[in-house]
Amino acid sequence: MPKKVYIHTFGCQMNKYDSETIAGILQDYSLIDDPEKANLILINTCAVRQHAEDKVYSLVGRLSIIKKDNPDLKIGLCGCLAEQYGENLLKRFSALDMVIGPDNIYKLPGLLDELYKGRRIVLTGHPSESVRSLPTKRVDKIKAYVPIVLGCNNRCSYCVVPWTRGNIRSRTPQQILNELKNLANSGYQEVTLLGQNVNDYGCDFKDSPIAGLKSVAGLEPVAGLEPVDFCKLLIMVNELDGLKRIRFITSHPKNFKSELINTLPQLQKVCEYIHLPLQSGSNKILKLMNRGYTIEFYQQLVEDIRQKIPTVSITTDVIVGFPGEEEEDFNQTLKAVEEIRFDSAFTFKFSPRPNTPSATYPDQLSSEVKQDRLEKLIASTSRITKEKNSRLIEGIEEILVEGQNPKDTSFFMGRTRTDKIVFFKANADSLIGKMVKVKIIGCGTFSLKGELL
Ligand code: SAH
Ligand code: SF4
Ligand code: F3S
């Protein structure tokens, strides 16, 4: 009888991909969705804010109870929190058998025997062998995430990711293209290229800033290929047969090159969608955050992108309540979001993280001030999102149908090229995975309503 693994995933798309990899490499295990029937429970964790951390601890508490009735069950913690606290987590939670950081999951199959012998395991760090291609067992059959670059070399002063994911390591173009070809051959329609900062793709390749095929991370150079940066990689990906849509996240404003802006309109499969985190509208705060751009630079960048790609949807991340953020700074953020008019915005209260410089900056703000600013910001960004959505009413959109609306199965759900969700009435399962045209007939803040044409 195959053993059974239950995987619970928190956090970002990179974590979702890692969970699919874990499911793929645990070949002796079948993936189940009931933790009570599992031989192995893995919790893939996120450390980006305190709230993400707290959610993990409460799940560990709940799952520990299952272990009392099932002493053979093993529980492992993977992901960014595992990397951040390592052994301390084993000390803190007696129910945990294993703590394994994101760059060590490829070792997992070889560790399981040890685990079942009763050894408690901690594996953290960023070995260069982690830049590799592993089998995946994917949840979705239509769209897939594919990492192009691991880690991050930026040091935004609030961010834990460079600690948990390590320095930048780009996958080679061959690794990426092979994975994409396999996805295309298996019928996938849409891929999202992943990186903490995709614009840095290739900057770590040895011998030349973008000499993509030299000896990176111990891999042999492959003859006959040109040096590759993000723009060149996108051109190569766009030429692959089979895939219909290509997306990428996340773009850091500071090195979004004009060459990329000029190239994007020529890449037919690359969708008109750019996630471009602003973080703050105040130059004082941007500097304290170590973001490497000013609000004027950011606004000019948005203008340049919109000029070349008029139908583009631009989304963002904003943090409120960064240490030292005065009313005046916050008002500049409000002014910026009103002027820029994002298609949508993810908004966060600043959360001090271990090891990050801003956790010890003076002038930390109270949770009341943060909450108040968050609410004001959300009122503004969601009003703008809805206004932007309402402008699409009466227009025709091409959407990739992803599935039925679980809340009302007479409705199907798909996304526009600009990543907006559209619900529409239909009664044929056969639409799933197809591109269809819909007329937009209504909208809310988070979705559009369409009519199948
Ligand atoms: N590499 C990506 C994503 C980083 S994490 C990027 O550079 O955009 C996703 C978002 O979480 C960030 O854009 C930021 O807005 C938010 N975030 C990161 N650290 C945070 C912290 N300490 N407190 C609050 N929000 C944070
Ligand atoms: Fe964190 Fe900044 Fe790197 Fe994004 S670019 S992962 S916010 S350090
Ligand atoms: Fe992702 Fe959270 Fe780690 S956002 S990179 S899982 S800290």
- Residue 226: what pLDDT? 54
- Is ligand 2 within 6 A of the CB of residue 271? no
The atom of ligand 1 lying closest to the CA of 249 is: 2
* CATH code for the domain in which residue 437 is found: 2.40.50.140
Q: What is the pLDDT along the chain (453 residues), one digit of tens a residue?
A: 779 999 999 999 999 999 999 999 999 999 999 999 999 999 999 999 999 999 999 999 999 999 988 889 999 999 999 999 999 999 999 999 999 999 999 999 999 989 999 999 999 999 888 888 899 999 999 999 999 999 999 999 999 999 999 999 999 898 999 999 999 999 999 999 999 999 999 888 765 444 444 444 344 444 444 568 999 999 999 999 999 999 999 999 999 999 999 999 999 999 999 999 999 999 999 999 999 999 999 999 999 999 999 999 999 999 999 999 999 999 999 999 999 999 999 999 999 999 999 999 999 999 999 999 999 999 999 999 999 999 999 999 999 999 998 888 889 999 999 999 999 999 877 899 999 999 999 999 999 999 999
Q: Determine the pLDDT at residue 128.
A: 80
pLDDT digits (tens, 9 = 90+) for 325-353: 999 999 999 999 999 999 999 999 999 99
Considering 125, 147, 177, which residue would you say is the last residue of a domain? 125
Q: Are residues 267 and 357 in the same domain?
A: yes
Ligand nearest to the CA of 10: 3
- What kind and span of H or E run contains 448? strand 448-452
CATH number, domain containing residue 62? 3.40.50.12160
Ligand 2 binding pocket includes 198 (Cβ within 6 Å): no
- Beta carbon of 275 within 6 Å of any ligand 2 atom: no
Gap from CA of 162 to ligand 2 centroid (Å): 7
Record the pTM: 0.94
Query: In angstroms, what is the span from residue 184 Cα to ligand 3's centroid?
Result: 27
- Shared domain for 111 and 183, answered yes or no, is no
pLDDT in the model for residue 206: 61
78 & 194 share domain: no
**Cβ–ligand 2 contact at 197 (below 6 Å):** yes
* 102 backbone dihedrals φ, ψ, rounded to 5°: -60, -30
Q: Quick one: pLDDT at residue 230?
A: 95
What token pair was written down for 100? 């394994």
38 with 186, same domain?
A: no
Please say whether the beta carbons of 416 and 446 come within 8 A.
Answer: no
> Which ligand sits nearest to residue 196's alpha carbon?
1
Same domain flag for 295 and 374 = yes
Longest Cα–Cα distance of the chain, Å, equals 64
SS3 42: strand
State how many domains the chain has: 3
C-alpha span between 317 and 46 (Å, rounded):
17
Nearest atom (ligand 3) to Cα of 160: 7
What's the sign of the alpha-carbon dihedral 323, 327, 329, 330? positive
> How far, in Å, from the CA of 198 to the mean position of ligand 3?
15
Q: Which residues line ligand 3 (CB under 6 A)?
A: 11-12, 14-15, 46-48, 79-80, 160-161, 164-165
Whether the CA torsion 214, 215, 217, 220 is positive or negative: it is positive
Residues with CB under 6 A from ligand 1: 48-49, 158-159, 161, 196-197, 250, 252, 277, 279, 317, 319, 348, 350-351, 353
- Shortest-distance ligand to the CA of residue 158: 1
Dist CA 85 CA 116 (whole Å): 23
> In this structure, which residue's CA is closest to atom 5 in ligand 1?
48
pLDDT confidence of residue 131: 82
| Structural domain ending residue among the three candidates 336, 368, 390 | 390
Does 308 lie in the same domain as 269? yes
Ligand at minimal distance from the CA of 346 is 1
Residue nearest to atom 10 of ligand 1 (CA): 317
The C-alpha atoms of residue 207 and residue 105 are separated, in whole angstroms, by 29
CA of 195 to the centre of ligand 2 (A): 10
Are both 59 and 119 inside the same structural domain? yes
Pairing of strands 245-249, 190-194: parallel
CATH number of the domain that 249 lies in? 3.80.30.20
Residues 260, 154, single domain; the answer is: yes
Q: Write down which residue in 97, 125, 153 finishes a domain.
A: 125
Which ligand is in closest contact with the Cα of 12?
3
Expressed in angstroms and rounded, the spacing between residue 82 Cα and the centre of ligand 2 is: 19
User: Tokens 């999102």 appear where?
Assistant: 385
| CA distance between the termini of the chain | 49
Cα–Cα nearest to 156, from 361, 310, 366: 361
Q: Are residues 223 and 335 in the same domain?
A: yes
Rounded to whole angstroms, how far apart are CA atoms 328 and 128? 45
Query: Is the domain of 282 the same as that of 370?
Result: yes
| Pair (134, 119) in one structural domain | no
Is there a single domain that holds both residue 271 and residue 329? yes
Q: What is the reported pLDDT for 26?
A: 96
Structural domain including 242 reads: 130-390
* β-pair partners for 248: 193
Other beta carbons within 10 Å of 110 = 9
Cis peptide leading into residue 263 (ω within 30°): no
Specify the residue with its C-alpha closest to ligand 2, atom 1.
159
Question: What are the strands of the beta sheet with 121-123, ordered from one edge?
Answer: 29-31, 3-9, 40-45, 74-79, 98-100, 121-123
Compute the Cα dihedral for 27, 28, 33, 36 and give only its sign. negative
From the alpha carbon of 196, which atom of ligand 3 is closest?
Answer: 5
